[in-house]
Amino acid sequence: MLLHIPQVLSPEQVAFCRERLASASWADGRITAGHQSVKAKDNEQLPESDPVAIELGALVRAALKNNDNYFAAALPRVVFPPLFNRYRGGQAFGFHIDNAIRYDRTGHLVQPVRTDLSATLFLNAPEDYDGGELIIEDTYGTQQIKLPAGDMVLYPGTSLHRVTPVTRGERLASFFWIQSLVRDDGDRRLLFELDISIRRLTQATPDHPALVQLTGVYHNLLRRWAEV
């Protein structure tokens, strides 16, 4: 499932992130690339242990805790600490698939993270730069993603994807991975659609007797599929 989640960060939070990133100590983005993706990756990135990355990563994670659609879609068990990258001057990232397992080298996570889901949170407006589209190959074909500042796209970690060259301006983003309580993408999709339906029904007819049954179905499916 590929999902656009709007307004994960407020305009004020986006402005704060950009202010902090403007004076950050950027490094070669290949520091976190795998054996194959290192050949295709050309961007800049904040090291995982950089104080600005840790500060802004905490801000992103706090914002995610208040986002119902994110929780319903991801069903997060473990979230890899958010990272930050920058593309400019023709930089790009060729087609690749993210590593199946990520290790947090800062020591904040003691266990490795299985990358069930990948997330990209855009930190500047589409009109600020040319190129920089996130191209994702999924079940329904090729998806081209370039979102407003503060919006995020969530997609399966198994997806083949790339970032097109940035030929004007710069593209700033946060990216991270999620190990879900529910490993299978199809099962997560069914649970997400059921969750959305229950919320809509609750708003429209809060006393409808079917709500108890539907909520029970949701939790019994989650109980069946969840890995805890």
pLDDT in tens, 19-50: 999 999 999 987 766 566 667 899 999 999 99
pLDDT at 40: 85
98 labelled binding-site residue: yes
* Distances 206 to 128, 193, 194, 202 between C-alpha atoms, Å: 44, 18, 16, 4
Evaluate whether 176 touches 157 at the Cβ level (below 8 Å).
no
Judged by DSSP in three states, 108 sits in: coil
- Tell me how far apart the alpha carbons of residues 181 and 223 are, in angstroms, rounded to a whole number: 10
- Tell me how far apart the alpha carbons of residues 186 and 13 are, in angstroms, rounded to a whole number: 33
Evaluate whether 163 touches 117 at the Cβ level (below 8 Å).
no
What is the average pLDDT across 98-104?
A: 93
Residue 120 phi/psi, 5-degree rounding, is -125, 125
pLDDT at 122: 98
pLDDT at 109: 81
219 labelled binding-site residue: no
- Non-local (6+) Cβ contacts of 176 within 8 A are 57, 60, 79, 80, 81, 82, 83, 118, 119
Q: What is the pTM of this model?
A: 0.94
Domain 185-225 carries which CATH code? 4.10.860.20
35 labelled binding-site residue: no
**Nearest by Cα to 137 from 96, 166, 188, 100:** 96
pLDDT at 135: 98
- Tell me how far apart the alpha carbons of residues 158 and 57 are, in angstroms, rounded to a whole number: 23
What is the average pLDDT across 71-82?
A: 97
What is the residue-averaged pLDDT of the chain?
Answer: 94
- Tell me how far apart the alpha carbons of residues 199 and 212 are, in angstroms, rounded to a whole number: 12
Domain 3-180 carries which CATH code? 2.60.120.620
**Most distant CA pair in the chain, distance:** 58
Range list for CATH 2.60.120.620 in the chain = 3-180
**Nearest by Cα to 185 from 225, 156, 220:** 156
Range list for CATH 4.10.860.20 in the chain = 185-225
Tokens of 202: 């609750």
Residue 185 phi/psi, 5-degree rounding, is -65, -40
Residue 225 parent element (H or E): helix 210-225
